[in-house]
Structure 1
Amino acid sequence: MATGHNFILDLMTVLGAAAGGGYLAKTLRQPVLLGYLVSGLVVGPFGLKLLSEANEIKPLAEIGVAFLLFALGVEFSIAEFKRVKDIAIKGSLLQIGITITLVALLATAIGWVEGLAQGIFLGAILSLSSTAVVLKSLTERGEINTLHGQVMLAILIAQDLALGLMLAILPALNQPANLASALLDALLKVLVFIAGAYAFGRWVVPPVIKSVAQTESNDLFLITVIALCLGVALTTDALGLSIEMGAFVAGLMIAEIDYSDQALAKVLPLRDTFATLFFASIGMLINPFVLIDNLGLILGLVTVVMLGKAIIILPIVLKFGYSFKTAFITSFGLNQIGEFSFVLALVGLENGFLSENQYLLLLGTTAITLVLTPVWLRFSPRLADELGNLPGLAKYLRKFRDTKALSIPETIRDHVVVAGYGRVGEIIVKILHSQGYNVLVVENSEAAIQKLRIQKIPYIFGDADSEMVLEKAHLEKAKALAIALPDPASTRLLLKRALEFAPKLDVVVRCHDNNEIDLLTQLGAKEVVQPEFEAALEIGSHLLITLGEKQSIIQSVINAIRTDRYISIRPERGGTLLRKDLKEASLELRSTWVTVENGSPLNGIALAAADIRNLTGATVMAIQKGDRTLYYPKGQTILSSGDRLQVVGEPEELAGFRDLMMGRLLIGSQYNHWVTLTEKSTLVGMNLTDIQDRYNVGVKSIRRHGKLLNSIKGGMAFQSEDCLLLQGERDRVEVVEKLAADGVTDVTDELLTNN
């Protein structure tokens, strides 16, 4: 077969294998990136050897990396970078410097390298993280614009800039006399490139792109953008700097002109295709025989590298004022060895800094760390929460807060909290503000916060799903919460935690996909809005008006669809898909299975009548009745002995649920209601016994700072902003509710006299 045909066959083989591997990974609820890496291993020279010219795939893989960084540059916000510039510059220098120093000293001490120069070279290899893998993982998870996503990308961009300097300086370690000239030469190249790129991006690129766009030729526009991206990338490569750096700078050039969105839309399909080749090419480098022969040593190296880098990065991020959760996710997102460490390792092999055996071990270690990165990114938020709740650490970690800036009136109350100030959140705020309502916005984008400052709208700068941020938002005083976050996982976590702070809060949520509607409703959202369905309802409503239907009938139809969670218009989902959705959500939310016993007060009553979430904060997500399972059960579902309930909640909420199961919380026979104590409430300073004796009303639970306290001692004094679960006769509970709100006392004597 002709050489050209061989290349086409190789290309088809890689793309076909990547498609199959990606599909299998997605089916197994794993990141598609893992599928691409494994597919490269399967078809590569150490697997089935299906490629005849594997080296010809490498240039295409490099194009994929260039497009990844180009797209990042186009989307890059200078305002966002200014917010993280300190950690991008100072933090990256600290991380690289500390990593190189520790690795050089340790490797020299244990004899893994023969001299300090070799140790420094090895430290430089290990100091780099993977821009391509992290960027792809963050994109898949919708976390590019999260605070930890911005911090990670800032550090990665700084590392990419450092790579060019390393390639110029490190080979000169064998000739110390040439070290100063190598450093000077590298700095000169960087300065020349930056100056040239600034001039080119300011005076050449805008008029050229404008002229091409005016031709209204999509083909010509796309070709021009590709030529710009690859041309600048090749320029940096020729200067001895990294291709990544050039592609990123090319993206910045486009980002500053009016046609950036059009350029990005054209490049995205090419980026995804070529990036797939890159990840598959990484998989081809994995030699399973080397892994098997040195499995113990490589697993040890993987553990030391990933744990060591995480330990180095964690305190650095904390030092720059970020929360423990942000620092933890960042440290475990950047603890792999970068794909361009392969380039450094090859230079080290050619210049005698690494032996053949060390080179092969590094390749295997690097490949495994890259494979593990998407897994770490998936589980690190949950692990951060678990560590943050440990008794010994919780008090210490409270000083690392997500709120780096806030502007909240001291007397704020009866306000609406809006989480997320993107396109949807901004419209919500405008509507509420125009009608005179108090609004508090929670956002972690500096660009969005700047808009809020100008408009003098109260805000909190931080992650909306953080407990520290929610404490500042005064949800217990709020009228409602609107959630319009870009990340589905953060949306679920925020909804759950918001109801822990204010169990009766009215929460409206913008969902991202059909499979989230039932989950978010089950977790306690009063309204779940699906934008695509809402657009369809508006179009359908307009058509019905055009066809002569009465407005009242149309509104009735629309309301019925919304009340029924869009069930009548969304595709039906089978039990397998529902089970997968619930399993994925359960990874973020603590869950347990509990069986309804014969003597349980839950036996024989409807789920709605049990009022489980109101009484305990826990939520029933699924019910197993014999051989069938009800996912997201409706309120009219009757509970029976032998039913197994999947319940999600915090440990104290699950403990409260068990109290309910055992009859320690009354169901149905008495009125249960949550109230929040204001600063002027006459109940502040009282205790459980005082309220029981004076008003004959029980206090079954307290939520203080979002934490549920089930074991309430009679002498525990109530504090302002405590949420109390009252239980008793309705008229008595309503009187205590008034006392909780405004301290009114003139009705209590009459009530006590009548009883």
Structure 2
Amino acid sequence: MQEDFRLIVDLVVVLAAAAGGGLLAALLRQPVLLGYLLGGAIVGPAGLGLVKELIQVETLAQFGAAFLLFALGVEFSLNELRKVQAISLGGGALQILSTIGITALVSVGIGWVTSPTQGIFLGSILSLSSTAVVLKCLMERNETETLHGRVMLGILVVQDLALGLMLAVLPALEAPSGEIGAAVGVALLKTAMIAGGAIAAGIWLIPPLLRLLARTESRELFLLGVVALCLGIALLTEYLGLSIEMGAFIAGLMISEVEYADQTLTYVEPIRDIFATLFFAAVGMLIDPRFIWENLELILGLVALVFVGKFLIIAPLVRAFRYPLKTALITGLGLAQIGEFSFVLASKGQVLGLVSRRVYLLILGTTAVTLVFTPFVLRLVPKVFAWAESVPALRNWLEGGEGPQEISEALPQKDHVVVCGYGRVGRTIVRLLRENNYPVVVIDQSEQRIQKLREEQIPYVYGNAASVHVMTAAGVEQARGMAIALPDAMSTRLCLKRALELAPDLDVVVRAAQDKDIELLYQLGAREVVQPEFEASLELSAHLLIGTGRSTTEVLQEVTEIRNSHYRELRPQQDSKDVSRDLQAATQDMNSRWYALPDQSPLTGMTLEEADLRRIAGVSLMAIQRREGDRIDYPDAQTVLQSGDRLLLVGDASEIATFKDLATGEVPVPAKDLSCQWVAVPDASPLAGQTLGDLDLTQTYAVQVQAVRREGQFIRFPDGSIEIQAGDRLLLCGTLYHLNHAYQWITAASPILPALSPPTLSVPVMDTVPRGDREAS
């Protein structure tokens, strides 16, 4: 076969194999990168042998690596780096240096490599994590704006920057041991000179050139000019003794701060993706499945060593920068793999003779397996934390570092509104509330946003809005209401649930990032759930309908009905299986379990509004599986509990244990005609110091004390030995007549129990919730 035609056949085979592997990976919900590697391994010399001449494909794959690094340079953003600059610059640099140093010591000590230089090179490979895999996992879970998401991406940006420096220094490592220092110095000097030239060109040459290309209004010409610029600088750095990849990265950085950066990236991305596919498929062709199988135990051991080693380096570093323990643990697990750009280093190292063929194959196999494991690890992490938070000792340990990092002066003490999240939505809410003279407290964990709050003199608590300690510091228990405008669904759910644990009657309005979260948030106790896209469509439609002559009153009434129906008319139609699947996926990230209702349970025959499970037991009921097979997802207030039902409950271990006591009759269930009311014991109350047995409210007022809440502690179904303290909130259940009388006596703090007499009917509106008016639990 002619050589030129052989190249075309090989390209077609490689691209087809990569496409097939990528499709398989996508169907299995794995990163397509893994599919490219698999496709290359299948058609390569160690697989089916359909592609035998690797040199030509590898040459084209080198262009793929160059375009990958060029696009990486264009995407680099100083603004994103500034959000977490301390941990990204300081922590990222320390992580890289620590990984290189420890790997060099261990690998030389146990004989994996024969020289410190090779150990440093191996450490450089292991120090990099996968930007592509981690970013995809964060985007799938809508976690890019969470604290751990920003920390991970900040460290990844620094690793990507370090890759350019590694590629520059790498050729110097093949020099004789006595000359390595001088060679590295020369390489760094060259890098500095090139960087200086790149900065100058980025200021004076690149912008006019891109403007000239853009002025032609020719997409083809603009793309051709950018590609020529990228490859030209890449070849220049190769000529100067550095690498093509290093030059491509510098070319991307030169464009990153120019106004045409986004346009450049849009045009280059298709080319980058095609050549990057060739690159990863070519790497896959170098992987020997037989070698991996024969050395499977060793590779799995190396994978475990890499995961544990990098976790033990990264997690303590993040914690040392005063981030919460949970954030440190998630970041350590999320960055514990070896990154795709390590393939670039490993390939260069083999060519330069820095690693043997066997070590190179072990690196490839270990890297591929860590990339496969990472999505599973990141999906498992929320479930592990949900379980850990159900164990009181582990929950206290995890939340021990989640107290407020800073509290502004002069926080409002009561009747304020707590706003969680100070992004665009949060800023608007705060501005409107302040214009109407309502006191606010903002909770946020971004240093940038906290600085804005300082400058605007807005009261704030710097910390994780889902932390009980932070909520307590913000005065949630004394607040008038709360608005939750957090960027990710998981933090929103935790924030809502914990806020209602502290203040069950709190008026909470929540922004739903996705329409599938709407019913879940209502079920967790939100008073109102707002979906921005649906709200925009309602406002646009209302304006158009009124403009066509429809009555304003009719249009507003129709819009209100749609809001009251939880946007059901606007949401895409889903069958019951899709709804159940979404619900199952959402509750997996929370502490949830199925519970079989006993046949003789006192809850049998009660509606959910009558049972009032969230207020009394603290659990949220998400789904009911009937004995005959029917399933009710997100049951409403009028749903009746039946014998043999299986209930999907969300709550911590103590809340679910309390529900079991209710369900089995261990503790009494309030009768159907009773109401429940939270009553705060005033400061300096003469009730303080007395036990519930001394007060004997059941005998005197015919009300039951179902729970006591004090300083974040929730005591359900307290016995007579519980001593009342000033500031406690008591959950009383009884008729409205008796509740009102008990309320008047407790809030008046009279030391003498008055005789039971017909009360006035001024039942407090905000605190008393008749059982017939409650929402579903």
TM-score, normalised by the number of residues in structure 1: 0.87
Hey, what does 2:676 align to over in structure 1? 672
Distance 2:380 2:444 in 1: 23
Match of 1:744 in 2: 748
Aligned to 1:179: 180
User: What is the distance in 2 between the residues matched to 1:35 and 1:683?
Assistant: 69
CA RMSD of aligned residues (A): 3.6
The answer (yes or no) to whether the contact 2:14–2:43 under 8 Å persists in 1 is no
Shift of 1:331: 0.7
- The whole-number CA distance in structure 1 between the counterparts of 2:622 and 2:274 is 39
- Counterpart of 1:727 (choices 702, 723, 733) is 733
2:632 counterpart residue number: 630
Distance apart, 1:313 and its partner CA = 1.3
Q: Which moved more, 1:314-323 or 1:136-145?
A: 136-145
1:535-578 per-residue CA deviation (whole Å, 9 max, x = no partner) reads 22222222321232222221221111111122223221112212
Deviation at 1:287, TM superposition (A): 3.4
Displacement, 1:387?
Answer: 4.7
Q: Secondary structure at the match of 1:666?
A: coil
| Cα separation, 2, equivalents of 1:250 and 1:441 | 42
How far off is 1:318 after superposition?
A: 0.8
Asked if 2 retains the 8 angstrom alpha-carbon contact of 1:121 and 1:170, the reply is no
CA shift in 2, pair 1:502/1:39, >3 Å = farther
- Conserved? CA contact 2:81–2:157, under 8 Å: no
Q: Following TM superposition, by how much is the alpha carbon of 1:13 offset from its aligned partner in structure 2, in angstroms? A: 1.4
Quick check: 2:387–2:591 contact (8 Å CA) kept in 1? no
Pairing partner for 1:65 from 62, 68, 75: 68
Give me the whole-angstrom Cα distance separating, in 2, the residues matched to 1:236 and 1:183: 16
Output aligned runs, 1:242-257, within 5 Å.
256-257=257-258
Give the SS at the match of 1:507. Answer: strand
Q: Distance in 1 between matches of 2:145 and 2:608?
A: 39
Partner of 1:13: 16
State the one-letter code of the partner of 1:416. Answer: V
**CA-CA distance at 1:249 after TM superposition:** 6.0
**1:482 match:** 483
Counterpart of 1:130 in structure 2 is 130
Match of 2:762 in 1: none
Change (3 A) 1:356 1:98: same
Report deviation, 1:210.
4.7
Contact 2:402 2:464 in 1 (8 A): no
CA pair 65-708 structure 1, distance change in 2 beyond 3 A = farther
Matches within 5 A, 1:135-150: 135-150=135-150
Tell me which of 714, 718, 726 is aligned to 1:712: 718
Q: Give the match's secondary structure for 1:482.
A: strand
Partner of 1:418, secondary structure, is: strand
Distance 2:616 2:715 in 1: 12
Contact 2:390 2:652 in 1 (8 A): no
Match for residue 369 of structure 1?
370
Deviation at 1:389, TM superposition (A): 6.5
Aligned residue number for residue 162 of structure 1: 162
Deviates more, 1:558-567 or 1:501-510: 501-510
Distance 1:735 1:246 in 2: 80
Contact 1:442 1:464 in 2 (8 A): yes
Deviation of 1:692 after TM superposition, in Å, equals 3.8
Q: What one-letter code is carried by the residue in structure 1 that aligns with 2:575?
A: G
Residue 325 of structure 2 corresponds to which residue in structure 1?
A: 324
Letter in 1 for 2:61: K
Moved more, 399-408 or 119-128: 399-408
Which residue does 1:196 correspond to in 2?
Answer: 197
Shift of 1:590: 1.4
* CA distance in 1 between partners of 2:633 and 2:48 (Å): 43
| Residue equivalent to 1:499 | 500
Whole-Å separation in 2 of the counterparts to 1:170 and 1:686: 79
Shift of 1:281: 5.7
Residues in 2 aligned to 1:596 and 1:675: alpha-carbon distance in whole angstroms: 31
Quote the offset at 1:119 in angstroms. Answer: 3.5
1:527-566 alignment, distance < 5 Å: 527-566=528-567
**More deviation in 520-529 or 80-89?**
80-89
Aligned 8 A contact 1:607 1:635 in 2: yes
Equivalent in the alignment of 1:24: 27
CA distance 1:106–1:177, change in 2 (3 Å): closer
Residues in 2 aligned to 1:351 and 1:249: alpha-carbon distance in whole angstroms: 22
Q: Match of 2:650?
A: 648
CA-to-partner distance for each residue in 1:44-88, whole Å, 9 max, x for gaps?
655566668753662464256336524531xx243x534533333
The offset of 1:235, in angstroms, is 6.0
Residue aligned with 1:709, SS: strand
Identity %: 45
CA 582–3 in structure 1, closer or farther in 2 if over 3 Å, else same = same
After TM superposition, give the deviation of residue 627 of structure 1 in Å: 2.0
- Taking the aligned partners of 1:268 and 1:504, their CA distance within structure 2 comes to 51
1:599 is matched with which residue? Answer: 600
Alpha-carbon distance between aligned partners in 1 of 2:411 and 2:124, rounded to the nearest angstrom: 50
The CA deviation at 1:522 is 1.7
Q: Distance in 2 between matches of 1:347 and 1:716?
A: 71
SS in 2 for 1:87: helix
CA shift for structure 1 position 113: 3.4
SS state at 2:28 partner: helix
Aligned residue pairs total 747
Q: Contact between 1:92 and 1:159, CA under 8 Å: does it hold in 2?
A: yes
Q: Specify every segment of 5 or more residues in structure 2 that has no aligned partner in the other structure, as ranges.
A: 760-777
Matches within 5 A, 1:83-122: 83-122=83-122
Other structure's SS at 1:358 match: helix
* Closer/same/farther in 2, CA of residues 242 and 602 from structure 1, 3 Å limit: farther
Which position in structure 1 is the counterpart of 2:294? 293
Over 3 Å counting, the alpha-carbon distance change for 1:351 and 1:214 in structure 2 is closer
Deviates more, 1:1-10 or 1:113-122: 1-10
Shift of 1:130: 2.3
3-state SS, counterpart of residue 647 of structure 1: strand
Distance 1:273 1:709 in 2: 61
- CA distance in 2 between counterparts of 1:83 and 1:283 reads 36
> For structure 1, which segment, 127-136 or 178-187, has the greater mean C-alpha deviation from structure 2 after superposition?
127-136
The offset of 1:661, in angstroms, is: 0.8
Q: What is the correspondence of 1:337-486 to structure 2 with a 5 Å cutoff?
A: 337-384=338-385, 386-387=387-388, 398-401=399-402, 403-407=404-408, 409-486=410-487
* Cα separation, 2, equivalents of 1:8 and 1:415: 65
Residues 319-348 of structure 1: CA distance to partner in whole angstroms, max 9, x if unpaired? 111111111111111111222323333344
The DSSP-based 3-state class of the residue aligned with 1:528 is strand
Indicate conservation of the 8 Å contact 1:46/1:288, yes or no. yes
Q: Rg larger in 1 or in 2?
A: 2
TM-score normalized with structure 2 length: 0.85
Contact 1:333–1:373, Cα closer than 8 Å, also in 2:
yes
CA–CA distance in 2 between the matches of 1:579 and 1:181?
Answer: 64
Q: Secondary structure at the match of 1:330?
A: helix
Is the contact made by 1:69 and 1:244 (CA closer than 8 Å) also made in structure 2? no
State the AA in 2 paired with 1:640: Q
More moved, 38-47 vs 299-308: 38-47
- Does 1:701 pair with 2:707? yes
The answer for unaligned runs of 5 or more in structure 1 is none
Contact 2:13-2:43 at 8 Å conserved across structures: no
CA contact (8 A) 2:101 2:120 kept: yes
- Cα gap change, 1:160/1:532 in structure 2, threshold over 3 Å: closer, same or farther? closer
1:13 and 1:152 map into 2 onto residues whose CA distance is: 34
Residues 692 and 698 in structure 1, CA contact (< 8 A), matched pair in contact too: no
Partner Cα separation in structure 1 for residue 22 and residue 42 of structure 2: 13
Compared CA separation, residues 16 and 163, structure 1 to 2 (3 A) = closer
